[in-house]
Amino acid sequence: MLESPIEFIARKDMKKLNILKKENKKTKLKRQWGTEKRTDPLPYLHEIPSNRKIALSRLSIVLTVFFWILYVVSVIFRQLIEGPQSYNFTIEVFWYLVVVTFLTFSALMYLVARQGAYLRFSKHVRVPRILLDQYFSKHQPSITVLVPSYSEEVSVIRKTLLSAALQEYPNIKVVLLVDDDNRKIRPEHEERYQKTLALEKDIPNLLSSPYKRFYRVMDKFNSVSEKNKSDLTNYLPEIAEEYKWAANWLNNLASKEKIEDHVDIFFTDQVLRDLAKDLDMVSKALLISHQEGAYMTKERMIQLINRLLWIFSARVEVFERKRYTSLSHEANKAMNLNSYIGLMGNRYKKETTPEGVYLIPTTKQEKNDLYIPDSDFLLTLDADSVLLKEYCLRLVYFLQQPDNAAVAVTQTPYSSFRGAPTRIERISGATTDVQHILHQGMSFYNATFWVGANAVIRKKALDDIVEKEYIGGFEIKRYIQDRTVIEDTESSIDIALHGWKLVNYPERLSYSATPPDFGSLVVQRRRWANGGLLILPKFLAYIHKRRISGKPVSLTEILLRVNYMASIAWSNFGLVFLLAYPYDGRLLSPLVLLSALPYFIAMSSDLKYCRYSYSDIFRIYGFNLILLPVNIAGVAKSLQQGLTTKKIPFARTPKIKNRTAAGLPYVLAPLFIIGFSLFTLWRNIQGQNWGNAAFAGFNAFTATWAIVSYIGVGNLLIDIWLGVTDMLYVDSKPKKKKDLSENKALEFNWKSVLYQGDPHGSVPYGTIDELVLSNKKSTAI
């Protein structure tokens, strides 16, 4: 249950609290009507599309262009010639053409990316497991998993860390980058914070028992002579038994997991039990091969034992950048990652000063307190994402192939957890799963964008794009851009500018959480809509650089990238114009609908392919309608940053199980859309403009359905009440303390006077030494 409005008003700090607590956290979330009960995900591999499906996909592209051209020729040109020869009507014609053209262009780009995905799926062949084992038995490039985290529930982080730690990869290192400020933890959050830090020991302790067991197995097996074939053959049942033991251990761990929602079910079934099932299958195969008298080399047996060792050999660490004054404290995910990446490959000594703890670089010969080794590859992973088995093996193997030497980033665009208990999470997940297909198609045209939820990155590529600046006397490195809140999109262009490529691996190997309520969805989608326009100038520089180098960018890549970065601006503003402006009925034509029909049919087909229903296309339309003000707000923030050059604060998507209250404008705007659509419907019926009337009626119906289904009438009323009452309160300013002479003496900083010329300034560590002439016992100016 949610708190009553009266209980909420009683809180002192109204503006800082946007999370509505449940009275009983142990109560499972009730499943809404119309949600999905199946929790099993789609297969790893995409189906190979038939020739008929590829041909129809190509035909949909042709028909979209054909009907648009036919509309321009038969309606637009005709009205310009035969219609009223007035300035207002001519402007209206051109403006309507611009809106329709941009919306048709976005639909066309969807179809083009979809076609590219089909062509990739038809050619993809999964690498056999034995090739992975053979390769990594001789080559073991290092990989470090970085999991940025801020104020997330321990159970959410634990699943992410375990899915990374159980990757079948040699000596994998998993680092949790905790961004909570240890000096500002509230008392009610202290327990969660301490449990988060404890994961550094809890997970290795959990994996230590099987790791020690298999280490002893490997030690014992190394003494077996390769020349004695009978000894090797007799050892097969023992290896099979170890695989069986590992499978039982994972199944036992899965049975102990606490199940509260569909994500917990996914983790136990698809991460733990699926890995156990695979190991059990290998165990049976080894026993049968032994019974049939098959011979296996010692090298192959070592590969099999290594697989067991690698599953349980992960190292887990916790790093808190905000403990160190010499690192950036900017509140965004990019700088959390950059702070750790910038330290890699070096040793540091901790120096405690009145200003805080500084990390001072040292050499290998000097005493050091912190050593962060470098890594060949980095895996960035959101704290609410989960990796399936073989993610690291397959993606690193892909990057290590000679043909992929120029690939800097590869990823499997994440899919959504199935079996969501709320309708809004289900429909939001549907859009995520469809986008997975489109991202695969964009790789076909070399138009891939880095999706920050998960990605394997070549460290050498990050070293190429690093930007350095000095703040307070300390070097700050930026590998991942934090100029916009969609840091992965801008970094994609930086990588391309330096001659590197990005590729989406054509399998489903990663899953990420979808916001379960409207409030958290607002935070996520507003951030996604903010920043694309700001990156366009950098993309134009990329086009120019490629043209000068004699390797011009293809037209398809340009169109797909521009659509990805800017379509959220023109599509939402275009829809506003269609909703708000009473265009002349003579501009309406069935040809407009026919040009959009291939897009809607294709998306419906993709939804069905992803195990949703054809009718979800209408639900997604209503879903996008109520998100219209959210997207426009995000675009407006981009324009604001472009004009002011000031960074927009990074808003993290709440990753909690309690409902997040939506801001007042975002719950009132959908009501306004419904009201205005009904007014437009009435006005057009009066004027017998039946085309506009039908469009307005459809919008009113789908928006109403979306509010009832995805926000909920009760939640809507509560959020409106909270938004209104919140405006009645203002933050109280703390009273200024009286200046006491002793406090003044303490505040006087002689170092700051000499360095800044101000007794209340700050002094970068070490710089004051240049101003001090002293021996080791005294300090004299």
Q: Give 395-420 pLDDT, tens digit per residue.
A: 999 999 999 999 999 999 999 999 99
C-alpha 80/C-alpha 82 separation (Å) is 6
Q: For residue 121, give the amino acid letter.
A: F
SS3 string, 423-481, reads: HHHHHHHHHHHHHHHHHHHHHHCCCCCCCCCEEEEEHHHHHHHCEEEEECCEEEEECCC
C-alpha 503/C-alpha 410 separation (Å) is 5
Q: Could you tell me if 210 and 246 are in contact, meaning their C-beta atoms sit under 8 angstroms apart?
A: yes
Residue 733 confidence (pLDDT): 56
pLDDT band at 16 (very low <50, low <70, confident <90, very high): very low
Residue 57 confidence (pLDDT): 96
466-470 CB contacts, 8 Å cutoff, 24+ apart: none
Q: Could you tell me if 399 and 410 are in contact, meaning their C-beta atoms sit under 8 angstroms apart?
A: yes
For residues 354 and 116, the model is more confident at: 116
Q: What angle do CA 93, 94, 100 make, to 5 degrees?
A: 90
* Res 24 pLDDT > 50: no
> Among the listed ranges 311-315, 661-665, 705-709, which one has the minimum average pLDDT value?
661-665
25's enclosing H/E stretch is: none
DSSP letters, 308-338, are: HHHHT--EEEEE-GGGBTTS---SSHHHHHH
For 234, the token pair is 């007799």
Average pLDDT over residues 443-459: 93
pTM: 0.87
- How far, in Å, are 17, 389, 597, 726, 774 from residue 11 at the CA level? 9, 46, 51, 11, 56
C-alpha 170/C-alpha 393 separation (Å) is 9
Residue 744 confidence (pLDDT): 45
pLDDT band at 464 (very low <50, low <70, confident <90, very high): very high
Residue 486 confidence (pLDDT): 76
Question: Cα(first)–Cα(last) distance of the chain, in Å?
Answer: 66
C-alpha 183/C-alpha 4 separation (Å) is 32
Count CB-CB contacts under 10 A for residue 258. 7
Strand partners, 362: 347
The percentage of residues in the chain with a pLDDT greater than 70, rounded to a whole number, is 87
pLDDT band at 165 (very low <50, low <70, confident <90, very high): very high
Distance of CA 407 to the CA centre of its chain: 20
C-alpha 303/C-alpha 312 separation (Å) is 15
Which residue in 118, 120, 121 sits closest to 56, CA to CA?
118
C-alpha 744/C-alpha 775 separation (Å) is 29
- How far, in Å, are 73, 154, 185, 197 from residue 191 at the CA level? 68, 10, 10, 10
